[in-house]
Chains A and B, each alone.
Chain A
Amino acid sequence: MEWETVIGLEIHAQLSTKSKIFSSASTLFGQAPNSQACAVDLGLPGVLPVLNVEAVNKAIKFGLAVGAHINQRNIFDRKNYFYPDLPKGYQISQMDIPIVGEGEIEITVDGEVKIVGITRAHLEEDAGKSVHDMFNEYTAVDLNRAGTPLLEIVSEPDMRSAKEAVTYAKKIHSLLQYIGICDGNMQEGSFRCDANVSIRPIGQEELGTRAELKNINSFKFLERAINLEVERQQDILEEGGSVAQETRLYDAVKHETRSMRSKEEANDYRYFPDPDLLPVEISNELMASIKASLPELPVEKKARFIAQLGLNEYDADVLTSQKSLADYFEATLEDNEKNAKLCANWVMGELSALLNKNQLEIDQSLVSPQALSLLVTRIGDDTISGKIAKDVFKAMWEGEGSADEIIKSKGLKQMTDTGEIEAIVDDTIANNTAQVEQFKSGNEKILGFFVGQAMKATQGKANPKLLNELLRKKLS
Chain B
Amino acid sequence: MSLSEQQVSQIAYLARLSLSDSELKDNTKDLNAILGLAEQLGAIETDGIEPMAHPLHMTQRLRADVVTEVDQSELFQSIAPNVGNHHYLVPTVIE
A–B contact via C-beta, under 8 angstroms: yes
Please name all residues of chain B whose beta carbon is closer than 8 Å to the beta carbon of A249 when the two chains form the complex: 95
Tell me whether B68 is interfacial, beta carbon within 8 Å: yes
Is B65 touching A17 in the complex (CB atoms < 8 A)?
A: yes
Distance between Cα atoms of A134 and B90 in the complex (Å)? 12
Question: Which of under 10, 10 to 19, 20 to 34, or 35 or more describes the interface residues of A?
Answer: 35 or more
B95 nearest CB across to chain A (Å): 7
Interface on A for B, CB 8 Å cutoff?
A: 17-19, 23-26, 32-39, 42, 44, 50-56, 76, 82, 84, 130-132, 134-143, 249, 260-261, 266, 268, 270, 273, 275, 277-281
Q: A19-B65, A84-B90, A279-B60 known; A42 and B53 CB under 8 Å? A: no
The answer to whether A50 and B84 touch (CB under 8 A), given A26-B67, A37-B76, is: no
Q: CB within 8 A of A51: which of B62, B68, B73?
A: B62
B63-95 interface with A by 8 A CB criterion: 63-69, 71-73, 76-77, 82, 84-95
A35 B63 Cβ-Cβ under 8 A? no
Q: Contacts A34-B86, A249-B95 known; A266 to B67 CB distance under 8 Å?
A: no
* Bound Cα distance from A25 to B84, whole angstroms: 22
A-B pairs under 8 A by CB, number: 129
B22 proximal to A (CB < 8 A): no
Q: How far is the CB of B1 from chain A (nearest CB, A)?
A: 17
Chain A residues lying within 8 Å of B64, measured Cβ to Cβ, are 53
**Chain A CB within 8 A of B49 CB:** no
Does any Cβ of A come within 8 Å of B20's Cβ?
A: no
Residue contact B65 to A33, C-beta cutoff 8 Å: no
Is B69 within 8 A of A132, CB to CB? no
Beta-carbon nearest neighbor of B59 in chain A: A281
How far is A54 from B65 in the complex, measured between Cα atoms in Å?
Answer: 6
Please tell me which one of the listed residues B13, B59, B69 contacts residue A23 in the complex, with CB atoms under 8 A apart: B69
A38 to B69, Cβ gap below 8 A?
A: yes
Given contacts A84-B88, A266-B13, 16 further A-B contacts (CB under 8 A): A18-B67, A25-B67, A32-B71, A32-B73, A32-B86, A34-B86, A34-B88, A37-B73, A50-B63, A51-B60, A53-B62, A130-B93, A140-B88, A141-B87, A141-B90, A270-B14
Q: With contacts A24-B63, A35-B71 known, is A84 near B87, CB below 8 A?
A: no
B16 CB contacts on chain A under 8 angstroms = 82
| B60 cross-chain contacts in A, Cβ below 8 A | 51, 76, 277-281
Pick from A36, A82, A139, A260: contact of B92, CB below 8 A.
A139
